Amino acid sequence: MKTRDAQWVAGLCVLAAVLRFSTLGVQSFGEDEAFTVLLSRDSFGGLGDRLLLEATPPLYFVLVWVWGQVFGTDEAGLRSLSALCGTLAVPAVWWAGRALLERRAALIAAAIFAVNPLLVWYGQEARSYALVVLLATVGFGFFARALGDENRSRALAGWAVMSALALCTHYFALFVVVPEAAWLVARVRPRRLAVFAAAVPAATLAALYPLVHDQRNPSTGWTRKWTTPDDEPLLDRVVQIPREALAGYAAPAGRVFATVLGLLVLFGLVLLVTRATPAQRRGAGIAATVAATALAIPIGAALTGSDSDYVLTRFFLAAGAPCALIVAAGLAATRGGRLAAVALCALSLPLVVAVAADSRYQRPDIGGAVRSIDEGAPPRAVLVIGRARQYVEAYLPGVRDFPSAGVRVSEVDIVILPLPGRTRPPRFVTPRPPPGFALAQRTVTHTYATLRYRPATARLLTTDDVTNALVDLPAALRRRVSHVVLEFPARRAA
């Protein structure tokens, strides 16, 4: 590595780390993160049972459990593992780019990885996505080197190991492993080395199959389709992929930014076709084959009309490296392209900052909602509307099901959160108080609403009282109360 390149890569790593680590604790845990929180606070022996309720392989959860014992299980502690992975992905994509393209293109790809709003979002989420991006990116670097002439056996071994680890992190790493394996078997000689390397991730999938079967078993695990909560049409979700990949999920003037960023990417693709060298186009062509196949596999499966609908933007994150390298190859071709690359990265930064600074573009603030009711004295009942029970348990330890015979409480709190797929709480009419209770406080913010009801003295609260109190809410909200009617001691997680 040249000294100047090393300085650029180091600087980009610092920028990536600042964007990810500096605001790790700003947002509350998301609904999916709540599962990670509960798992990390459980005993190590309890991992197996909890994994049956997941739809993800075990590697990340084993690592985050160990990580949580050292760095804590609050937002900053658990998310710091993903922030580290997201930061390390920057030199990883540069390393992959140097094997496939020239140095300027590799640096541009590293810059894109450092500031991309979607990668920063998942670099601040206690889920497996940042880790699978890192492993898949390193695997892509080994894949590119295996197509060369030097140290082919070592590169194949590295690709096999990284691909197996990526599959143990997220099943949808399969989308990039399959085209890479097919390319290696078709192009690498002697072929037996490539076949042996491809057999490693294949054996990994075979070993994971019993877990996949149990996770999909209706009696033990999940059975739902992997679609958006509102079951959006397939075409809408396909169209969302480039927009969200460039501009993230939500930001001020997000559509405008996504359009401008898309035009800069299109400019890079035009330069790739018209101005890049043949060697650059060959390298970008390899990356394009992997990226296009990674998109085609799940879209093709969804078009069959089966339950195999896996078309969501986050499921394609493992293809981030080849996608970034395609764009970088074109932008590096001319001076104008390099200026466009600067603009692409510069326009990404305000989107990242806006998410960190404005709660309207963040995850639902269950932490803020809990803090707004945390002064109450036990025993009290909390009814959470709009999210699953595990989301609440991440902030309210020691919860238990509301007893069928009722419970004597000194306070009833109703927390209304955004419905899945939304960022703001739904509009609602303030529910009538249970018998003997009166509304003591009403708080409505961009991300949650809380209602506190108190009696003159502690009273018995029954399930009928709860049902009658919620009758004024829209039916869509009443349906979301199921399984989250809780009674707990007034304390929250550290």
Residues 284, 394: one domain? no
In whole angstroms, give the CA distance from residue 337 to residue 328.
9
- Give per-residue pLDDT as tens, 442-457: 888 888 888 888 888 8
393, 210, 198, 245 alpha-carbon torsion, rounded to 10°: -30
Q: Which two tokens stand for residue 362?
A: 């963040």
In the block, which residue shows the tokens 């018998």? 435
- Give per-residue pLDDT as tens, 305-354: 666 788 999 999 999 999 999 999 999 999 999 999 999 999 999 999 99
Q: What is the pLDDT of residue 484?
A: 45
- Give per-residue pLDDT as tens, 46-84: 888 888 888 899 999 999 999 999 999 999 999 999 999
Q: Which two tokens stand for residue 375?
A: 């002064």
Of all helices (H) and strands (E), which one includes residue 287? helix 278-303
Residues 378, 354: one domain? no
Residues 132, 177: one domain? yes
The answer as to whether 9 is a domain residue is yes
- Domain count for the chain, please give it: 2
Considering only CA atoms, which of 348, 317, 356 is closest in space to residue 112? 348
**276 to 99, 100, 115, 345: CA distances (angstroms):** 17, 14, 25, 21
Looking at this protein, which amino acid is placed at residue 189? R
Residues 379, 480: one domain? yes
The answer as to whether 493 is a domain residue is no
Average pLDDT in the 453-480 region? 78
Strands 380-385 and 407-409: unpaired
Residue 466: pLDDT band by 50, 70, 90 thresholds?
Answer: confident
The answer as to whether 34 is a domain residue is yes
- Give per-residue pLDDT as tens, 291-310: 999 999 999 988 886 667 88
Poorest-pLDDT segment among 114-128, 325-339, 383-397: 383-397
Residues 263, 331: one domain? yes
In the block, which residue shows the tokens 């326009």? 347
Residues 177, 74: one domain? yes
Q: What is the pLDDT of residue 422?
A: 67
DSSP label at 168? Answer: H
Of the three residues 314, 336, 361, the one that is the final residue of a domain is 361
Q: Which two tokens stand for residue 9?
A: 């890569």
The answer as to whether 185 is a domain residue is yes
Strands 380-385 and 412-416: parallel
Residues 277, 378: one domain? no
Residues 352, 472: one domain? no
In whole angstroms, give the CA distance from residue 311 to residue 304.
13
Q: What is the pLDDT of residue 363?
A: 86
Host domain of residue 426: 366-488
Average pLDDT in the 479-488 region? 53
Looking at this protein, which amino acid is placed at residue 204? T
Of the three residues 309, 344, 361, the one that is the final residue of a domain is 361
Residues 314, 372: one domain? no
Of the three residues 314, 339, 361, the one that is the final residue of a domain is 361
The answer as to whether 494 is a domain residue is no
The answer as to whether 331 is a domain residue is yes
Considering only CA atoms, which of 66, 312, 57 is closest in space to residue 163? 57
As a whole-number percent, the residues of the chain with pLDDT over 70 amount to 88
Residues 10, 41: one domain? yes
In whole angstroms, give the CA distance from residue 114 to residue 109.
9
Residues 387, 433: one domain? yes
Alpha helix ranges (H) inside 101-216: 103-115, 117-122, 129-146, 152-169, 174-187, 191-216
The average confidence (pLDDT) of the chain is 88
Residues 354, 465: one domain? no
The answer as to whether 18 is a domain residue is yes
